[in-house]
């Protein structure tokens, strides 16, 4: 979420509809993403299965049993990118979050206005969403009170996708956080916009911006980005992880392995100066995947979201219990984390108050638990 701050203290009503099911053991999963209180996986067949927000077992999403190539889970909404380049979103909360007809907003996936084709990537944030077009441009919609849409204004809501200023082309990836957004250019540079009181934009200031600003020191060499609560992380082409924004402060956020309250410029993460292959930023914690299939997480751990068997915060990355090898994908949510294994299993840990761990309970776990499975397909 991509991944949302504890500033949002109320739960969403993400509707997980159609058939309650268990994850089939013969199903191949190609992607996973975690939102505030829910988690979704994408199957090789292009189907979307989610759990959480009060539903404790995996559930197929109506109308999305095939044809989907990417998913992104936000605070109280989720979006899917189809193979035809269209965007569909669904939710149970504020209908203005994702820009569909207000009369149609709710549990059933609906087309996003103006984005029925031509999209190559999506990212759902707090109460806004962004899309990357085939021309390398970025469009965002939803909440915009702090300029997180990047359209040069701070209007409360923008119901239909609007162009991000200065990013009509040349972008290769996007990541929407709680109230800020970042883009990775084809040259490997990072630009961010939106809320910046704790330096989440990485431009060396704490001044918000309704248009993209350059992240200090990241003008090339970045291969992936992830925006979370009030902080952001980047993965370099050499496997190094750098983070900036809120660190320890009032909520004890720990984004970079340092004790400072925040950093307005990127800093190296302890122990991750090489070897990382993927990153995911949550509400107050972060996780990295190494080339050996090992998961390392750091930051807040009050609900066990670091997965090391404790509830002790860590300013340096720790290895999740039983996660030293065999992990192919990682997704950090608000205060929970989920992972895909190389043998097509799904494991989750951390906060489980709304069933977002998918193990059939609402009990937190500081160690990974298996998402409920069954021998055959969802029935």
pLDDT at residue number 256:
52
All domains of the chain in start order, with CATH: 23-374 (2.130.10.30)
Q: What percent of the chain has pLDDT over 90?
A: 81
**Cα–Cα distance measured from residue 190 to residue 225, given in angstroms and rounded to the nearest whole number:** 8
pLDDT at residue number 107:
77
pLDDT at residue number 264:
96
Q: What is the pLDDT of residues 182-215, one digit of tens each?
A: 999 999 999 999 999 999 999 999 999 999 999 9
Lowest mean pLDDT among 13-17, 65-69, 287-291: 13-17
Indicate the average pLDDT of the chain. Answer: 88
Question: What phi-psi label fits residue 75: left (phi over 0), alpha (psi between -120 and 50 degrees) or beta?
Answer: alpha
Q: Can you tell me the mean pLDDT for 134-139?
A: 98
**Cα–Cα distance measured from residue 34 to residue 145, given in angstroms and rounded to the nearest whole number:** 24
Q: What is the pLDDT of residues 317-351, one digit of tens each?
A: 999 999 999 999 999 999 999 999 999 999 999 99
Q: How confident is the model at residue 21 (pLDDT cuts 50, 70, 90)?
A: low
pLDDT at residue number 20:
52
pLDDT at residue number 122:
98
Contact 72, 119 (CB under 8 A): no
Query: Global pTM?
Result: 0.90
């Amino acid at each position: 979420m991509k991944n949302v701050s504890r500033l949002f203290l109320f739960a969403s009503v993400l509707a997980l509809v159609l058939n309650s099911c268990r994850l089939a053991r013969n199903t191949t999963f190609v992607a996973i993403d975690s939102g505030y209180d829910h988690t979704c996986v994408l199957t090789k067949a292009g189907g979307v299965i989610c759990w959480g927000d009060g539903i404790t077992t995996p559930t197929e999403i109506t109308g999305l049993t095939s044809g989907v190539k990417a998913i992104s889970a936000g605070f109280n909404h989720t979006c899917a990118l189809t193979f035809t380049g269209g965007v569909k979103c669904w939710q149970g909360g504020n209908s203005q979050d994702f820009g569909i007809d207000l009369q149609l907003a709710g549990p059933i996936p609906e087309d996003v206005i103006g984005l029925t084709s031509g999209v190559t990537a999506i990212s759902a944030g707090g109460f806004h969403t962004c899309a990357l077009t085939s021309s390398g441009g970025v469009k965002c919609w939803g909440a915009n009170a702090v300029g997180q849409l990047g359209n040069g204004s701070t209007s409360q809501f923008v119901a239909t996708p609007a162009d991000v200023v200065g990013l009509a082309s040349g972008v290769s990836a996007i990541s929407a956080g709680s109230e800020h957004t970042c883009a990775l250019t084809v040259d490997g540079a990072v630009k961010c916009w939106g809320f910046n009181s704790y330096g989440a934009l990485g431009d060396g200031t704490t001044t918000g911006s309704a248009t993209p600003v350059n992240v200090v020191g990241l003008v090339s060499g970045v291969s992936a980005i992830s925006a979370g609560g009030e902080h952001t992380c980047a993965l370099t082409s050499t496997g190094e992880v750098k983070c900036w924004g809120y660190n320890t402060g009032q909520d004890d956020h720990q984004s970079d392995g340092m004790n400072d309250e925040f950093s307005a410029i990127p800093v190296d993460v302890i122990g991750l100066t090489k070897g990382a292959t993927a990153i995911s930023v949550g509400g107050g914690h972060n996780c990295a995947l190494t080339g050996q299939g090992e998961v390392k997480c750091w930051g807040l751990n009050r609900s066990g979201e670091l997965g090391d068997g404790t509830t002790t915060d860590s300013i340096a990355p720790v290895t999740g219990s039983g996660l030293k090898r065999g992990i192919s994908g990682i997704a950090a949510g608000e205060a929970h984390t989920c992972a895909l294994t190389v043998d097509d299993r799904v494991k989750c840990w951390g906060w489980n108050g709304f069933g977002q761990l998918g193990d059939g309970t609402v009990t937190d776990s500081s160690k990974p638990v298996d998402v409920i499975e069954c021998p055959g397909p969802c029935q």
